[in-house]
Structure 1
């Protein structure tokens, strides 16, 4: 087992410093970063950044947390903030990687739909573009963003953001269940959901009750649950449990901490309660999960 320190947090892969432009996005060809590294991007994470990887040609093996997936031509990957991910590409893979800073995502939410954009980017997704029309639309949208990104024409930032908003609308249609047709919430509810997501990120290991989350937001627990169900189709407690479970999986896979230590770090004073929680969520005990996941990583 490795330690969490062995899963580096990068701005761009291999770089701890911000990229050398004032933009809140970065767009580059897969080959630009992968070819010098023998087409292998080792597992890493990004703080405050979301990534979209589009594979136009070739194949790739995608690692997300403890799982591996195959990606073929026309495949697109959505990588949420701080999720462990890595890639192994064919030697002639072609495509683009788009990296978005969180402030830009928040701004785009005002144009697109904060609720739907949060739903799109908050989970790791493999999206297959099944028709030539879908493939062409996404390919063209990314090509336009890349061309504008590497150029220095007047109005570059405004045009890139408009192109990016159009791309995200297409991805919401293609990648979300029902094509992104779930009911969009009113502005206040969207704000509450976004703040709830940020509170979860700060306090998921602190043992906060739903009542405490709701109090911090200035609403009732019933109102909070209603917002979550309308926005992403899940209860507030499910969202909190998902974040706890994700961190539990990371600690089990990437550290040598005992099951009891992992549980304690996540706010479970009773190791048995942590084991029951984990098994109820995954169907496996923490030890069985660690044993399987530890043999499946590359």
Structure 2
């Protein structure tokens, strides 16, 4: 009798690579997840926005996205990366982190761990072994974080603007299926819409409205792609005043009507 329990099967690994201009929403549009994500950049460079703060990334970078944290990243033609869905973030930091591995030894160690997880997640692999390698990966991350200089690590995140925008994006993630306006969020944060907009421009070069609309757009894309819900019902779920207004807004953002997007998105997967 096998007395060993099966680990949580939520551990998953997906590839991030350039999918063409019509599929940029799959990586660039702001999104958030109930579970954490770990992004390993192996090739190329670009920009990533996490909790409203934009930074550049390059090869041998490791980026942690905590649960319910808004993020989006540019994935150009030269970029190759992997995104790991974490089954459990107990013991992981509450805030995101961005590790830039400069030495060859940790670079090789990380690649070895990721390859081991990928191998064990294959149909002929062993899920228990994958979770064991994930445990080793968490130890690797803990050791790398311990080597960082606390005085310089994530200094930009400690600014007043970054803290405000992080709180703003957290509220958006919580209320994405509402019709709340930027003014409503600003009131909840105790600031004026102008001050919130100025802070967003400072941290990520985008307006507060752009961040909000981008998160709603991603939600619309996933509902269109992953469900059979009528466009009318999707518009209602996302807080739009009417299906016509939703269709117009979606077309302005994506260049195509919701029904056309749904038809062309069949066969794509998302991280």
Range into which the TM-score falls when normalised by the shorter chain: 0.5 to 0.7
Write out per-residue CA displacement over residues 213-254 of structure 1, whole angstroms, 9 at most, x where no aligned residue: 011111111111111111111111011101100110111011
Q: What SS is found at the alignment partner of 1:207?
A: coil
C-alpha displacement of 1:165: 6.7
Is residue 139 from structure 1 mapped to residue 126 from structure 2 by the alignment? no
Write out the 4+ residue segments of structure 1 that deviate beyond 6 Å after TM superposition.
74-79, 143-148
Is residue 263 from structure 1 mapped to residue 235 from structure 2 by the alignment? yes
Match of 2:94 among 100, 106, 126: 106
Q: 1:206 to 1:97 in 2, by over 3 A?
A: closer
TM-score (norm. length: structure 1)? 0.51
Unaligned stretches of 5+ residues in structure 1: 1-11, 17-27, 31-44, 57-73, 84-94, 110-116, 122-128, 168-179
Q: Which residue of 1 aligns with 2:36?
A: 49
* Superposed counterparts of 1:176-255, under 5 Å: 184=156, 187-255=159-227
Q: Which residue of 1 aligns with 2:144?
A: 163
Unaligned stretches of 5+ residues in structure 2: 1-6, 15-31, 44-58, 71-81, 115-132, 149-153
When the two structures are aligned, how many residues end up with a matched partner? Answer: 197
Contact 2:176 2:216 in 1 (8 A): yes
Q: What SS is found at the alignment partner of 2:94?
A: helix
C-alpha displacement of 1:142: 2.4
The root-mean-square deviation of aligned C-alpha atoms, in Å, is 4.8
Q: Which residue of 2 aligns with 1:113?
A: none
Is residue 293 from structure 1 mapped to residue 265 from structure 2 by the alignment? yes
TM-score (norm. length: structure 2)? 0.56
Structure showing the higher helix proportion among its residues: 1
Contact 1:144 1:163 in 2 (8 A): no
Write out per-residue CA displacement over residues 175-199 of structure 1, whole angstroms, 9 at most, x where no aligned residue: xxxxx9xx93653222211111110
- Name the CA distance, whole Å, in 2 between partners of 1:203 and 1:104: 25
